[in-house]
Amino acid sequence: MSAETSQVEAAPQAAANANGAPFFSAKDVHAYYGESYIVQGVSLELNKGEILALLGRNGAGKTSTLRAIARMADPELHKGEIWLDGKALHKMPSYDAALAGIQLVPEDRRIIPGLTVEENMILARVAPGHGWDIERIFARFPRLAERRNQEGVTLSGGEQQMLAIARALTRECKLLLLDEPYEGLAPVIVQEIEKILVEIREAGITTVIVEQNAVAALKLSDRAVILDTGQVAFTGTAKEVLENEALRHEYLAI
Ligand SMILES: Nc1ncnc2c1ncn2[C@@H]1O[C@H](COP(=O)(O)OP(=O)(O)O)[C@@H](O)[C@H]1O
Ligand SMILES: [Mg+2]
């Protein structure tokens, strides 16, 4: 076994909690939109500081899984457990789950119209549960610093994605859930966001990334889960997916 391989295998163990429980786990999660049974027994596990790529075709249930984990009202959680850093999120509404450190950056980014870049972040900090302060954000996101007084919705797509991520970091953020962060962005901007995600990991934050650009997500990730019709079709390392052409072809069409 090469030194590189053993290091990859050793890291998750070292990062697990003292009692051996993973930092984040979703266990057998079942969630419904009304009568529609969509998330059908999904389980995920992450150690602190890891990145997990949550993949699958369009309609596989990725967004629904993120929303169920973040305890949004829709889809409604009917069964399963969600644990983050020892806290039982399955017993909490979304507001309390956010206070416990789960931050969802949705696909449409939800930048608030009429507010500047800085005001978007100030608003995010009105509620209790704070993370990085705004000057730390601006030090890390120079593009946002240059545009701090510009209306947020007038930023480019990539800058809006940075603002959405930055806003999540201004909140208590132990688990960052990113829904298609690279969507519609030019490759150079994707690279810039990838660098930010590496730095976020180095700061100790744990991330789940949903991406259609599976290869880009996998290159950054430790773990991978592939969903198919609301169920887990594969759980393993990102490397295993990158190396398994049949698996990629069957579930990711790449
Ligand atoms: N609000 C909703 N009400 C009913 N069904 C929904 C709703 N949102 C998504 N779905 C259905 O749930 C399934 C999974 O959707 P989604 O989680 O958005 O998939 P993905 O993000 O993997 O593309 C799809 O069949 C979709 O039509
Ligand atoms: Mg989706």
State pLDDT tens for residues 58-107: 999 999 999 999 999 999 999 999 999 999 999 999 899 999 999 999 99
Res 38 pLDDT > 50: yes
Contact (Cβ atoms closer than 8 angstroms) between residue 53 and residue 223: yes
Mean pLDDT of the chain: 92
Q: Whose CA is nearest to atom 6 of ligand 1?
A: 33
Contact (Cβ atoms closer than 8 angstroms) between residue 110 and residue 65: no
Confirm whether pTM is higher than 0.85: yes
Q: How is residue 223 written in tokens?
A: 């773990």
What is the chain's percent helix, strand, coil content, to nearest 5?
40, 25, 30
When pLDDT is averaged across residues 227-245 and rounded to a whole number, the result is 97
Identify which ligand lies nearest to the alpha carbon of 69. Answer: 1
pLDDT at 17: 62
Distance, CA of 210 to CA of 103 (rounded, Å): 14
Question: Domains in the chain: how many in total?
Answer: 1
Identify which ligand lies nearest to the alpha carbon of 36. Answer: 1
pLDDT at 140: 93
Res 202 pLDDT > 60: yes
Distance, CA of 170 to CA of 141 (rounded, Å): 12
Ligand 1 centroid, distance to 103 Cα (angstroms): 20
- Point out which residues pair with 33 in neighbouring strands: 36
Query: What is the per-residue DSSP string for 51-62?
Result: EEEEE-STTSSH
pLDDT at 127: 87
Distance, CA of 29 to CA of 10 (rounded, Å): 28
Contact (Cβ atoms closer than 8 angstroms) between residue 162 and residue 143: yes
Q: How is residue 224 written in tokens?
A: 């991978």
Long-range contacts of 232-238 (CB under 8 A, 24+ apart): 232/41, 232/42, 232/43, 233/56, 235/43, 235/44, 237/8, 238/53
Contact (Cβ atoms closer than 8 angstroms) between residue 217 and residue 211: yes
pLDDT at 147: 98
Q: Among residues of the chain, what percentage have pLDDT more than 90?
A: 88
C-alpha dist (Å) from residue 97 to 1, 67, 92, 193, 244: 41, 11, 6, 25, 36
Domain, as residue range, for 134: 3-252
pLDDT at 16: 58
pLDDT at 254: 80
Res 14 pLDDT > 70: no
Candidate of 58, 64, 69, 209 to mutate for ligand 1, largest count of ligand atoms within 8 Å of Cβ: 64
Ligand 1 centroid, distance to 252 Cα (angstroms): 17
pLDDT at 7: 40
Which residues form the pocket of ligand 1, taking CB atoms under 6 Å from any ligand atom?
33, 36, 38, 56, 58-64, 74
CATH of the domain at 245: 3.40.50.300
When pLDDT is averaged across residues 8-36 and rounded to a whole number, the result is 77
C-alpha dist (Å) from residue 29 to 24, 81, 117, 231, 236: 13, 7, 36, 10, 18
Ligand 1 atom nearest the C-alpha of 65 is: 17
